A and B are shown apart, each in its own frame.
Chain A
Amino acid sequence: MLILFVLIVLKHIFVLLSCVPMENKNLELLEEKFQQKIDQDIKIEPNDWMPDNYRQTLIRQISQHAHSEVVGMLPEGNWITRAPNLRRKAVLLAKVQDEAGHGLYLYSAVETLGADREDTIDDLHSGKVKYSSIFNYPTLSWADMGAIGWLVDGAAIMNQVPLCRCSYGPYARAMVRVCKEESFHQRQGFEIMTTLCKGTLEQKAMAQDAFNRFWWPALMMFGPNDADSKHSAQSMKWKIKRSTNDELRQQFIDVTVPQAELLGLTIPDADLKWNESTNHYDFGTINWDEFWQVVNGNGPCNAERIEARTKAKENGLWVRAAAMAHAEKQRERTKQSA
């Protein structure tokens, strides 16, 4: 009996050991097929097999994107009640509402990857997951609404247009709609700046001041230099990312400098000049120390932004509980009357 038992155990061990390389081989095959699909520009859909790292990278990236949309409502929300006329108030309300809508699509896209929306929001509140650093800068004047629309939404479009071709279907499709709306936002920002720059000396000064404060943080929105970007290479291979940080930043500068000149604004960079040989603008060194300080929580408004979002959730817990309790009671009532 004992011998039989030992033999059975040994057989199981043997089978298990022989399976390991087979499983590895299966995994390799799956990964190979997955990469082939990506190389052929076939979209990956929620029920398709995907490497765990691909899934995790997307959850991180899309949830960061969703949080950026939602936290981004705060600096602009700061000026809705003080908008200078009724039209601007209505437009700003509509714009910030769009951002909230983008947050919703993106949280839905995260959920297609098996993540829970509330868990990802709790990760934002605990500081585990980041959002775009630009929203940690304060909005100090009405011109900041112009600068944000023009520069921040402009930079976001540069980042997001390539994502419409991202390998993950739900993210790519969400981006198509998001980009259409962002392009409106960028135009409304530029229109605010145009009106200010054509206005009184005070208005022009207000526009220049906002431009001075948002220019460098907008350049930082593209992330660290390629050499220092730890996620870039793999994301490019997976077509989650389709252009490098430095390529996008250069593209943004090349497009935006003539717009600033058209507005008559001075670019706050003494080293900025057109380079005939590269056909691009050369520009000064970005203050990466400031960038990392803001990323790591030391920006002017990091604490305020997270506090506002955490409070919104905490203050609303009783509302959620009420909605759930009412829904439950309704279900019971329907059951009883049936």
Chain B
Amino acid sequence: MEKFNYLLRLGDDSLILGQRLAEWCGHGPILEEDIAMTNISLDLIGQAISVLNYAGDVECKGRDGDALAFLRLEKDYKNLLLVEQKNGDFGDTMMRQFLFDAYRKLLFERLQSSTDKQLAAIAEKSLKETRYHFKHSAEWVIRLGDGTDESHKRVQNSLNNLWRYTDELFYVDASDKVLTKQGILPDLSDLKSLWLQEVNTVLDLATLQIPTNNWQFEGGRKGVHSEHMGYLLSELQFMQRVYPNMEW
């Protein structure tokens, strides 16, 4: 049960951010970035397929990745609040991606040494992609922060708005502790300080400041989402809800 719960968190982060990034398709600021964002979306959907299919196997109730991705109630999705936030402008999207990529890169590095072979293999494959994602989003955060007065102001604003969702990246509950004892989850206690270090290095180059208001939200990991989530799910689940029990 604990493992299933953890896999849902991991898979849902990929699924929901992949869904969000796909909204950019055809609307990117330049064609190269249109391709980059859909490519990252594709990687994330690929991760969601591996992780959620595995979650279905672990659960043993006959649900596969598609059943989990498309047919749960909102409260049963366990993704971070950060990844369900709306795309906003290109700066908002890149800042959300950067904060997330920095975390996922560190997480996958650790998960490679999970005693669960399947999870370790998924982490190893995903890490390769995530390193590229991080390089891409970090470079954009630097360009936008250091670029013009307007871009600096915009992306500082993105950071101010998104910072409140970053504590949740390191959410831990009793279920995680069980997995840590089993060696399925490696020790992640220093992840936050490593993440802060990575993030600060990039924000320095971008001449951006972490906001002084450090009030933090959480809820996604427990299935309590923002108002945006229902709309996102209504698109994601549309076909499966309107045409149930069909092969596509």
Contacts and interface: CB of A to CB of B under 8 A. Distances in A.
B236 to A, nearest CB: 7
Contact of B39 (A81, A89, A97): A97
Nearest to B35: A100
Contacts of A200: 243, 246
Interface string A74-86: 1001001111111
Given A80-B25, A93-B41, 7 more contacts: A73-B34, A82-B239, A86-B66, A200-B246, A203-B246, A315-B90, A319-B29
Interface of A: 70, 73-74, 77, 80-90, 93-94, 96-97, 100-101, 103-104, 107, 142, 192, 195, 199-200, 202-203, 308, 311-313, 315-326, 329
Contacts of A70: 26, 31
A316 to B, nearest CB: 2
Contacts of A316: 28-30, 33, 90
B147 A326 contact: yes
- Secondary structure call for the A interface: helix
A74 B24 CA distance: 10
A318 B46 CA distance: 32
A34 to B, nearest CB: 33
Contacts of A89: 22, 45
Interface in B115-148: 142-144, 146-148
B23 A322 contact: no
B6 interface: no
Interface of B: 19, 22-23, 25-35, 38-39, 41-42, 45-46, 48-49, 52, 65-66, 69-70, 89-91, 142-144, 146-148, 150-151, 154, 235-236, 238-240, 243, 246-248
A319 B30 contact: yes
Contacts of B154: 318
Contacts of A90: 42, 45-46, 49
A319 B46 CA distance: 28
Contacts of A318: 148, 150-151, 154
Nearest to B53: A86
A23 to B, nearest CB: 41
Contacts of A74: 26
Contacts of B143: 322-323, 326
* Most chain A beta-carbon neighbours within 10 Å: one of B39, B42, B46, B65: B42
A73 B22 CA distance: 12
A315 B146 contact: no
Nearest to B32: A104
A317 to B, nearest CB: 8
B150 A80 contact: no
Contact of A308 (B26, B31, B238): B26
17 contacts: A73-B34, A80-B22, A80-B25, A84-B246, A85-B69, A90-B42, A90-B46, A103-B31, A104-B35, A195-B247, A308-B26, A312-B28, A318-B151, A319-B90, A321-B151, A322-B143, A326-B144
Given A73-B26, A84-B240, A316-B90, A93 B45 contact: yes
